[in-house]
């Protein structure tokens, strides 16, 4: 198992759980819908990473995943400080932009190794 991708998977799951916890304090249905939408976005990435857990790693992937770690810490702070649904969406979107780059890089590793 690729330990770097396993860490990414764990980060995504933890942020998904953090959003789930925010449902208890959502002030209204609109906020709940926003949180659920962002949870679906995270769940999609969780599913993708699960399919990549046995890919090889590379220096570029390790570097990309270090950036995810930084973005993960930023999202944790953003979720704690989010005063509005817009703040929440901005925080998750910024995090997922970094995650998506790492996922895209991981998806390319197997075809490159196979010479495709």
At residue 110 the predicted structure's pLDDT band, cuts being 50, 70 and 90, is low
Would you state the structure tokens that stand for residue 32, as one six-digit string? 């709940």
Q: Identify whether the C-beta of residue 56 lies closer than 8 Å to the C-beta of residue 113.
A: yes
pLDDT of residue 55: 84
Fold topology of 3-113: 1.20.5
Task: Determine the Cα–Cα distance for residues 67 and 73; give it in Å rounded to an integer.
Answer: 10
Residue boundaries of the structural domains of the chain: 3-113
The answer to whether residues 91 and 78 touch, using CB atoms and an 8 Å cutoff, is: yes
Answer for the pair 110, 56: CB distance below 8 angstroms, yes or no: yes
* Claim: this prediction has a pTM higher than 0.85: yes
pLDDT (tens digit per residue) in 36-93: 999 999 999 999 999 999 888 889 999 999 999 999 999 999 999 998 999 999 999 9
């Amino acid at each position: 198992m690729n330990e770097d991708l396993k860490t990414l998977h764990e980060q995504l799951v933890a942020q998904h759980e953090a959003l789930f916890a925010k449902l208890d304090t959502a002030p209204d249905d609109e906020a709940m819908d926003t949180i659920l939408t962002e949870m679906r976005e995270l769940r999609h990435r969780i599913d993708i990473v699960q399919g990549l857990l046995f890919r090889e790693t590379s220096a570029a992937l390790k570097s990309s995943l270090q950036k995810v770690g930084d973005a993960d810490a930023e999202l944790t702070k953003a979720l704690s400080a989010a005063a509005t649904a817009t703040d929440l969406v901005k925080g998750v979107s910024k995090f997922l932009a970094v995650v998506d780059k790492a996922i895209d890089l991981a998806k390319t590793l197997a075809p490159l190794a196979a010479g495709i």
